[in-house]
Amino acid sequence: MAAITKRGRAAVMSGLDVILRDGLRLPGKGRAGLLCNHATVDRALSGAPELLRAGGARGVALVRLFSPQHGFAGEKQDNMVESCDGVHPPTGLPIVSLYGRVRAPEAAQLAGLDAILIDLPDVGTRVYTFLSTALLMMRAASSAGIPVVVLDRPNPIGGAAIEGPVLDPAFASFVGMVPVSLRHGLTAGEYCRFGARALGLEIDLRVIPMEGWRRDLYRDGTDLPWVMPSPNLPTLDATIVYPGQVMLEGTALSEGRGTTRPFELWGAPWLDCAGVHARIEATTAAGIAGFALREVAFEPTFQKWTGDAVRGFQIHVTDRDRYRPVATTVAVLSAVRRVHPDRILWRGPPYEYETERLPIDLIAGTDRLRVAIDAGAGVEEITASWDADLAAFREAREPFLLYA
């Protein structure tokens, strides 16, 4: 059992906190590269690069940084905005951007390293690109014969529930490289273990587990501080709805980018709010519960419908145990399609380096979801179609789990 703090939260140590306490044995002279971003902090909110550069973990000599999408500092507000290589001001270490000229490190960028450390926040959703970057790093490290150590962190939306379509390999992309469900219920370390096997990597991979974390814990059930992992997931509330609401990126609907509540807000200038709300309220599919929709209007400052008055809703999660984010957004999309049959709902490419396939198919990991919604299939029918694949995935992930 995890220890309980005075605030009633589980006392959890991240993998970073563990090596700061215990040190880490690395080969050679311990010269390490670190794949991380601004949210890679210890429990006292100090940055991992500063801590490791100053010798905070015995055996680690940090010499290079690598950054994922949105830039090391999370400064790239919109998605699909590349960042350049740079220098980390507090330490003077070079930063190699893995969301710019390259998405996987080149041999020269790995030269002289004895090990790669990966310490990235994740949000429990296959589409979130940070762990795709981790897998590409692992593939490059495997080719170079460099061992990889993953410093584990909590899945902020828990590790018990899984939901949504499992990736069809025919739809593999940068927003989904391995066959996991849209809400995958894995920690970063577990995901990397699963991904290494799925990709057939021959790699010296080690995970430094957390201490005190359980699969039933959301991030606010731990005593670890919250740092937004990227600009449009500023809160845990946004992260909870994200596994479903991220599908709106593949549509003409605003997913709330350019507002103060991204992914919780959604809509379009032409939306018949009363009609859509009535359709969603009439949905009786299992799992379509645990939330309330409040009608709102908003004007995005960037991305879709910039400067327009958007009519829509804010999702308020009222019961996490009953709320199913993917099923809820399927109900949203089904309702919009039925109320607005003549509107172009699906957004065209490009999307995350893909120029031919529809974004919604890449996000869902299959074209069956889009086809079913267009055909007028019921939400219960659509969600039931995932059951067999989810059962197979739950069994397949079992050997890679690290926590009870």
Residue 66 located in a structural domain: yes
The phi and psi torsions of 30 (rounded to 5 degrees) equal: 75, 20
- Structurally, the chain folds into a number of domains equal to 2
Question: What is the largest distance, in Å, between two alpha-carbon atoms of the chain?
Answer: 65
Residue listed under structure tokens 């049959």 = 341
119, 200: one domain: yes
205, 345: one domain: no
Residue 357 located in a structural domain: yes
Rounded to an integer, what distance in angstroms lies between the CA atom of residue 194 and that of residue 230? 24
240, 336: one domain: yes
142, 213: one domain: yes
332, 200: one domain: no
Domain membership of residue 334 as a residue range: 236-385
89, 133: one domain: yes
- Which of 197, 231, 265 delimits the end of a domain? 231
Residue 392 located in a structural domain: no
Residue 166 located in a structural domain: yes
218, 185: one domain: yes
195, 82: one domain: yes
Residue 1 located in a structural domain: no
CATH number of the domain that residue 206 is part of: 3.40.50.12170
Residue 393 located in a structural domain: no
Asked if residues 159 and 187 have their Cβ atoms less than 8 Å apart, the reply is: yes
Which two three-digit tokens encode residue 27? 């080969």
Rounded to an integer, what distance in angstroms lies between the CA atom of residue 81 and that of residue 102? 13
One pLDDT digit (tens) per residue for the chain, 404 residues: 467 665 689 999 999 999 999 999 999 999 999 999 999 999 999 999 999 999 999 999 999 999 999 999 999 988 889 999 999 999 999 999 999 999 999 999 999 999 999 999 999 999 999 999 999 999 999 999 999 999 999 999 999 999 999 999 999 999 999 999 999 999 999 999 999 999 999 999 999 999 999 999 999 999 999 999 999 999 999 999 999 999 999 999 999 999 999 999 999 999 999 999 999 998 876 678 999 999 999 999 999 999 999 999 999 999 999 999 999 999 999 999 999 999 999 999 999 999 999 999 999 999 999 999 999 999 999 999 999 999 999 999 999 999 98
Rounded to an integer, what distance in angstroms lies between the CA atom of residue 29 and that of residue 125? 36
196, 251: one domain: no
Residue 226 located in a structural domain: yes
CATH number of the domain that residue 381 is part of: 3.90.1150.140
Which two three-digit tokens encode residue 215? 């699969």
- Which of 231, 260, 292 delimits the end of a domain? 231
Single out the residue of 294, 293, 304, 241 nearest to residue 270, CA to CA.
304
The phi and psi torsions of 109 (rounded to 5 degrees) equal: -80, -15
Residue 401 located in a structural domain: no
130, 265: one domain: no
95, 71: one domain: yes
- Which of 231, 264, 296 delimits the end of a domain? 231
240, 227: one domain: no
